Amino acid sequence: MANQNTVKALVRRGLDEKTATKLADEGYTLSDVKGASLKDLTDVIGKEKAGEVSKKLGGKKAGKKKKSPKKKKEVEIDIPEKLPPLSTIGKKLQKLCEKDGYNLPYTVIRDAANKIEEENIPQKDYSLMMELINDRFENRLVDSKESVGIVSAQSIGEPGTQMTMKTFHYAGVAEVNVTQGLPRMIEVVDARKVPSTPMMEVHLKNEYKKNRDKAKELAFELEETHLIDMADVEIDLVNMMAIIKPYMKKVKSDNIDLDKVVERLKKTRRVTGNVTREGKEIHITLGEDNQSYATLHTTVEEAKNAKIKGLDGVKRAIIRDTGEECIIYTEGSNLGGALKIDLVDIEKTTSNSPKEICDVLGIEAARNSVIKEAMDTLNEQGLDVDIRHIMLVADMMTNEGSVKAIGRHGISGKKTSVLARAAFEITSTHLLRAAIVGEIDRLDGVTENIIVGQPITQGTGAIEVKYRPVKTAEANTNE
Amino acid sequence: MIRRGIAKRVGAIRFAYMSPEEIRRLSATKIITPDTYDDDGFPIEMGLMDTHLGVIEPGLRCKSCGGRVDQCSGHFGHIELAMPVVHVGYVKEIKKLLRSTCSECGRILMTDEEREIFISEMDGLRKLGGDPLDIRKLAKEIAFTARKSSICPHCDGQQLKIMLDKPTTFREENTKLTPKEVRARLEKIPDRDLIPLGLNPEFVRPEWFVLKVLLVPPVTVRPSITLESGDRSEDDLTHKLVDILRINHRLRENRDVGSPQLIVEDLWDLLQYHITTYIDNQTSGIPPARHRSGRSLKTLIQRLKGKDGRFRQNLSGKRVNFSARTVISPDPWLSINQVGVPVRAARELTVPMKVTAENIELIREMILRGPEPWEKGKYKPGVNYIIRPDGRRIRLTETNAETVAEKVEVGFTVERGLMDGDIVLFNRQPSLHRMSMMAHEVKTVPGKTFRLNLAVCPPYNADFDGDEMNLHVLQSEEARAEAKVMMMVQEHILSPRFGGPIIGAIQDHITGLFYLTHKNPLFSRRDVVSIFSNLVTEGSPEAITVDGERMWLGKDIFSHFLPEGLNIQLRSSICESCDTCKKRDCENDAFVVIEDGKLITGTIDESSVGAFKGDIVDKIARDFGTTEARIFIDRVTTLALGVITLKGFTTSIQDEDLPKMSVKQIEDTLLEAEEEVKEMAQAYRDGELEQMPGRTLQETLEVMALQKLGKARDNAGKIASKHLGLGNNAVKMARTGARASILNLTQMAGALGQQAIRGERPSRGYDQRTLPHFEKGELGAGARGFVKSSYKEGLNPIEFFFHSMGGREGLVDTAVRTSRSGYMQRRLINALEDLMVYDDASVRNPADTIIQFKYGEDGVDPMRSIKGKAIDMDDILMDMYAIKRERGE
């Protein structure tokens, strides 16, 4: 599970891929490698390589021993079953299907089982029922050669004209603005890195889910707070120091530990000088040797922007009590950070950005996220679109292991056919490039065949009828 | 048009770069003179319009192939350039090559071993299925690695930094590299070294990127047009080629006489400029070449690019014959499967018929009737053309009909006009989904408009306020068969978008059926005859005897059109969703029960038969077949129109009348809300307003005010609708789903409510106020776009202004939305168009990548699903009980 970015960065600096992967696997980042001592490196990749690595990357002289890079914590998570197990009746039905050779999907069997329970159908009727279901089910299947792609694209695109353009709407909570309607749909399909209104829905672990205090605690932990949000910062030019006066109200309500603030400030880069706590105030005094106004100024500015607590990017966290449980909605998103917090229910917590989900949870989760976001947007607008269409779009977007956009930079740009690419966008570049590598267009797709003027290869165009005339005696005599 | 033999398919197209030799070989003539025509108007030899390059004027013959205008598609020529010039499309490629190869020996800047490693890596990528794009990316990385070494590993030559001064000049440190030098360097690169750099030496040599010979396209590609005044106007490409030739000529002269270096170089640069713009006239960094009028020229790349370019305009979409377009109008007497084609269009549009031994007599008769036959004032299809087996067409006229009829033999083709029952395609733009183009049966009608049944308006999204539609006549038996089986309107009753009906009753149909079935009214014989007079049906509905007279119940009349064996239960649109549903005993008659094709209880309205929602239509289409569904829709809509014609239906401003009491009540509610908002605003100013978490004080006020005023409008609406019962025609329409909504009614009768701009109360305009009628900083309801009046009362000027603001926003919104969603759909279609279901139900793309192992995870076609579900268990149970009953269990 090496961080691909690190590997790439290391390779670019002249390491071979194997070594780079090894290092990244151990949890090294680029700066870790740069700072690591020869010995640390030797432990991981052997002496020979270590020497080479430190020669190539040893920006900082060895000896300044850095904390050894954090080993990746092995986290064990129970992977939840994708589908809840069938009831006893369901299992019986499943057996029946196996016996009779019916190939029915899980949902159908589950629905049948539920209906049986609901209506108290005697067991002797099960087989008749499954037979009827199977007969109908077979009629519901898609035809082979059906051009499902176009149907899906039309089914999503056509209602686009009926969507509103109004960007903001309150989804669930009045306090959080969320992009809705057509702009949101376009955003999902575009696979933007960061959506225009990133949002998280953070659930608490089951045992705390009704605990408002815990929810509050979590919300504070999530919300990003800078020094300037919680205190006045004054400059004392006479003593060459900065005086930080926290708003006591805020400190109390948000449960901020001032000592921790001091710690934070000490660690903050470019905050030079001595940070001390003086009762309810915090002072930053410049050292004797460094008494320039410029330094004081930068120190104050940096201190103001110092992050005191919270997750990067989470601007606001709002608690909503549904009665069932407390859910925290955040403006701004940092899923990776949120999942590390103990109070958080890892399974339920989500973000509204498929790309982020892809980075944190992987591609399968990202696919589900695309489906969810697209479905939610359509449903919110009261538009009825079958989920299969959206699944197809999501599968197409995530097929290659990363979330790809629908459009020039994503899927359309990756098409194998030169003509299809040229017909979509940036015509000339594609043609010029194709010439110098001697690209071949095999005319498998739709656009290409339309361009050369022959039937497309889907639907009725995918099959051919061959006719071999039978020579009859009559025909022979005629000739 | 007779197609013979086996249709061949183009298997693949290979793209490659043309070498100078190939250009010379291909060239029909060398072009020297920049002039086009001589004084007599004849093309000059070795000029740009040389007849070796093909002909564009009728009468002339091509000197290369001897063909006439329509026979010769043209031939290429060439220009020998005095000095080599860089091809703009490949400057980046040249830069990459110069940087990653040695300036001395031309070898790639890496050892042979490294090179071989990279080549094998590339092969590996190709084997793993890497497409040309992946390989390009790898080549880029390789080039990046190569150019980092500053000393050539082969000849130890020092490498200087090579820069590209956009668009076409190369520099090495500070000395300019002439194209000639560039070419010399590129020539030195060995073939094998090109492979890791992403070039395929089988198809391209890098020195070809520096042009010595220029290919001249045939005249047929750049035809000149003769204006009315007799002047010739040349194509943009010809203009550009003339420029190139002139400069080329001057450059050659100057070079040969040994002019100063400076002049030669200037001319050389000028030639470079002309050739650059000849290829791409939108190259950044240089001014586009312009026409005398100031319009910039459309040169090679501009011809291909963009929406109006060759690709999107002429290759992805093509113009067709045998099509017609006119205004549409409604015709309730047509079936949904039909389209009314006006006689004039039917005469013009033709269907080819092959003459066979079986039909020759019939065709003779047809021809004898002439091109425009009428029979007893009725349209009869005529024959427009007769095509002989050798391809000659004979136009049929009144005068030659008899002679032609005699000549016709088996093997001829006859183009006859449309007749009833022909299959045509009918289309309305924008074609957003496949239901925008469906096959109809022709029915010739008088007048000048296409006619269509009202039930097919929803799929086309058509109305009759001037909409036009297109009609295409199919020309082959195969096409007709395919259209009939797959594209007929009846095959599209169910939409693949959501697995429900998209064709069904609309507007008056629904009101009519409401009148027919709600509370089961009685109809006299007279009424029934009147209703049925326009219907085609067998038998008659069951009658009952009331006071000794035969009478008919509305529900029985409706049941007459339901197929036998139909069982369904559903809630009507007029259902009030009471806390406990009384089902069959519903006092609103809002619970529809149909047993064995008999309507037992319930009112038929939108949720039974409406487009998008009609569950009965859905069920019939699914369980009884599309033909049955079509018949049902045809008959039920006609029935509904019969009823509504009998009963009469209107709505007027009086439908929004309210008793004085309620008007007062509404006024009070609104005033109260207004007052409350005023208080809130005061509280805000005093800083007493309690802030919402995460919002500013002002935002809090806005949110609260919006909520308050929204509620006030709702309350006003509630008061109004209390007095608007189902006896009211406007309410009937809204509740049954025929047209409008309750919200529309409350806005007419009660109050319009808050006008919103970008989802907020209007706040801009004047300094701290929306209009000068208010005080600065006023935050009350009225000052921020709350409209107390109803449409019926009329708006005061201020309210009218706010309302216009909201209205304008709506208009802008629509305009922006259509373009944005259009682009989104284009991208979606482009991304997904190649996906297809395979025999194993997997979805794959042409590269054979599996996108889904089983389509939609269960392999179910959304169109055949029941609102997305594969199986409706209630159906199964009903079937099961029916079978058990039969078995006597």
Does residue B827 carry a pLDDT above 70? yes
Query: CA A260, A265, A268, A271: dihedral to nearest 10 degrees?
Result: -170
- Residues forming a β-bridge with B233: B225
State the CATH number of the domain containing residue A181: 1.10.1790
pLDDT digits (tens, 9 = 90+) for A243-295: 887 777 777 776 777 777 777 777 777 777 777 777 777 787 777 777 777 77
Instruction: Tell me if chain B has a CB within 8 Å of the CB of A3.
Output: no
Measured CA to CA, the distance from residue B673 to residue B680 in angstroms comes to: 10
Instruction: Answer yes or no: do A183 and A258 share one domain.
Output: no
pLDDT digits (tens, 9 = 90+) for B415-427: 999 999 999 999 9
Buried b (16+ CB within 10 A) or exposed e, B552-581: bbbbbbbbbbbbeebbbbbbbbbbeeeeee
Measured CA to CA, the distance from residue A204 to residue A216 in angstroms comes to: 11
Rounded mean pLDDT, B811-837: 90
Residue B340 has a pLDDT of 95
Residue A166 has a pLDDT of 65
Instruction: Tell me if chain B has a CB within 8 Å of the CB of A108.
Output: yes
pTM over 0.80? The answer is yes
pLDDT digits (tens, 9 = 90+) for B597-634: 889 898 998 998 998 888 999 999 988 999 999 999 99
CB contact under 8 A, A156 and B828: yes
Tokens of A250: 């805020």
How near does any CA of chain B get to the CA of A110, in Å?
11
CB contact under 8 A, B835 and A115: no
Residue A56 has a pLDDT of 64
How near does any CA of chain B get to the CA of A416, in Å?
7
CB contact under 8 A, A423 and B870: no
Least confident of A167-171, B182-186, B639-643, B843-847: A167-171
pLDDT digits (tens, 9 = 90+) for B383-433: 989 998 888 888 888 888 888 888 888 889 999 999 999 999 999 999 999
Which residues of chain A carry a pLDDT beneath 70?
1-6, 8-10, 12-14, 24-41, 43-82, 166-176, 254, 472-479
Of A278, A309, A340, at which residue does a domain stop? A309
Does residue B192 carry a pLDDT above 90? no
Spell out which residues of chain A touch residue B200, defining contact as CB-CB under 8 Å: 436-438
Instruction: Answer yes or no: do A356 and A400 share one domain.
Output: yes
Within A313-365, strands assigned E span 316-321, 326-331, 350-351
Residue A219 lies in a domain: no
pLDDT digits (tens, 9 = 90+) for B741-768: 888 888 888 888 888 888 788 888 899 8
Instruction: Answer yes or no: do A159 and A115 share one domain.
Output: no
Q: Which residues contact A33 (CB under 8 A, 6 or more apart)?
A: A10, A23, A41, A53, A57
Three-state SS at B101: strand
B497, A385 in Cβ contact below 8 A?
Answer: yes
Q: Which residues contact B874 (CB under 8 A, 6 or more apart)?
A: none
CB contact under 8 A, B14 and A433: no
Residue B509 has a pLDDT of 93
> Between B440 and A115, where is the model more confident?
B440
Q: How far is CA A12 from the centre of its chain?
A: 26
Q: How much is the ipTM here?
A: 0.89
Tell me which chain B residue has its CA closest to the CA of residue A393. Answer: B832
Least confident of A387-391, B60-64, B139-143, B228-232: B228-232
CB contact under 8 A, B827 and A407: yes
CB contact under 8 A, A158 and B432: yes
Domain boundaries, chain B: 31-75+217-312, 85-208, 508-626, 653-808
Partner residue facing A160 (CB), from B759, B821, B841: B821
Does residue B492 carry a pLDDT above 90? yes
Residue A475 has a pLDDT of 56
Q: Which residues contact B456 (CB under 8 A, 6 or more apart)?
A: B336, B438, B462, B489, B503
Three-state SS at B802: helix
What's the mean per-residue pLDDT of chain B? 87
CB contact under 8 A, B865 and A417: no
Interface test with A, best of B125, B278, B311, B887 (most A CBs within 10 A): B311
Instruction: Tell me if chain B has a CB within 8 Å of the CB of A165.
Output: yes
Interface test with A, best of B873, B878, B879 (most A CBs within 10 A): B873
Residue A344 lies in a domain: no
Instruction: Tell me if chain B has a CB within 8 Å of the CB of A387.
Output: yes
Spell out which residues of chain A touch residue B486, defining contact as CB-CB under 8 Å: 460
Interface test with B, best of A148, A363, A375, A414 (most B CBs within 10 A): A148
The tokens 């010595």 sit on which residue? B212
CB contact under 8 A, A108 and B870: yes
Tokens of A287: 């050292």
CB contact under 8 A, B861 and A174: no
CATH 1.10.275.10 fits B508-626, yes or no: no
B199, B206 in Cβ contact below 8 A?
Answer: yes
Rounded mean pLDDT, B191-196: 86
Least confident of A55-69, B681-695, B871-885: A55-69
Tell me which chain B residue has its CA closest to the CA of residue A169. Answer: B759
Instruction: Tell me if chain B has a CB within 8 Å of the CB of A454.
Output: yes
How near does any CA of chain B get to the CA of A285, in Å?
34
Partner residue facing A391 (CB), from B11, B311, B857: B857
Tell me which chain A residue has its CA closest to the CA of residue B90. Answer: A432
Phi and psi torsions of B194, nearest 5°: -75, -30
Partner residue facing B10 (CB), from A157, A412, A452: A452
Instruction: Answer yes or no: do A170 and A98 share one domain.
Output: no
Residue B545 has a pLDDT of 86
Residue A220 lies in a domain: no
Least confident of B63-77, B642-656, B874-888: B874-888
Spell out which residues of chain B touch residue A415, defining contact as CB-CB under 8 Å: 834
Print the domain residue range for A446. 415-462
Instruction: Answer yes or no: do A186 and A131 share one domain.
Output: no
Residue A323 lies in a domain: no
Partner residue facing B496 (CB), from A136, A155, A451: A155
Residue B84 has a pLDDT of 92
Please name which of B63, B79, B1, B4 lies closest in space to residue B245, comparing C-alpha atoms.
B79
Measured CA to CA, the distance from residue B751 to residue B748 in angstroms comes to: 7
Residue A318 lies in a domain: no
Helix axes B91-100, B179-188, angle to 10 degrees: 60
Residue B203 has a pLDDT of 87
Measured CA to CA, the distance from residue B847 to residue B838 in angstroms comes to: 13
A104, B858 in Cβ contact below 8 A?
Answer: no
Instruction: Answer yes or no: do A373 and A428 share one domain.
Output: no
Instruction: Answer yes or no: do A152 and A123 share one domain.
Output: no
Please name which of A206, A173, A176, A199 lies closest in space to residue A325, comparing C-alpha atoms.
A206
Phi and psi torsions of B388, nearest 5°: -80, 160
> Between B19 and A44, where is the model more confident?
B19
CATH 1.10.3720.10 fits B31-75+217-312, yes or no: no
Residue B110 has a pLDDT of 83
Spell out which residues of chain B touch residue A109, defining contact as CB-CB under 8 Å: none
Tell me which chain B residue has its CA closest to the CA of residue A418. Answer: B15
Measured CA to CA, the distance from residue B489 to residue B548 in angstroms comes to: 45
Q: What 8-state DSSP symbol labels residue B43? A: B
- Residues forming a β-bridge with B523: B552
Does residue B863 carry a pLDDT above 60? yes
Spell out which residues of chain A touch residue B497, defining contact as CB-CB under 8 Å: 154-155, 158-159, 384-386, 389
Tokens of B380: 């009869």
> Between A234 and B798, where is the model more confident?
B798
Rounded mean pLDDT, B209-233: 86
Least confident of A40-54, A362-376, B82-96, B723-737: A40-54
Residue A14 has a pLDDT of 67
Q: Where are the alpha helices (DSSP H) in B690-753?
A: 697-722, 729-736, 742-749
Residue A62 has a pLDDT of 41
Residue A60 has a pLDDT of 45
Residue A81 has a pLDDT of 67
Residue A280 lies in a domain: yes
Rounded mean pLDDT, B480-497: 93
Residue A114 lies in a domain: yes
Residue A12 has a pLDDT of 67
CATH 1.10.132.30 fits B653-808, yes or no: yes
Residue type (1 letter), A337: G
Rounded mean pLDDT, B331-338: 93
Domains in chain A, number? 5
Residue A340 lies in a domain: no
B656, B748 in Cβ contact below 8 A?
Answer: yes
Q: How far is CA A82 from the centre of its chain?
A: 19
Residue A224 has a pLDDT of 82
Q: Where are the alpha helices (DSSP H) in B168-320?
A: 179-188, 191-194, 236-257, 261-279, 300-304
Q: Is A433 exposed, middle or buried (0-12, 13-18, 19+ CB in 10 A)?
A: buried
Q: Which residues contact B782 (CB under 8 A, 6 or more apart)?
A: B674, B774, B788, B798
State the CATH number of the domain containing residue A426: 1.10.150.390
Q: Is A192 exposed, middle or buried (0-12, 13-18, 19+ CB in 10 A)?
A: middle
Q: Where are the alpha helices (DSSP H) in B454-611?
A: 457-460, 477-482, 508-517, 525-532, 554-559, 606-609
Q: What CA–CA distances, in Å, run from A111 to A90, A107, A118, B863, B873?
A: 9, 6, 10, 20, 7
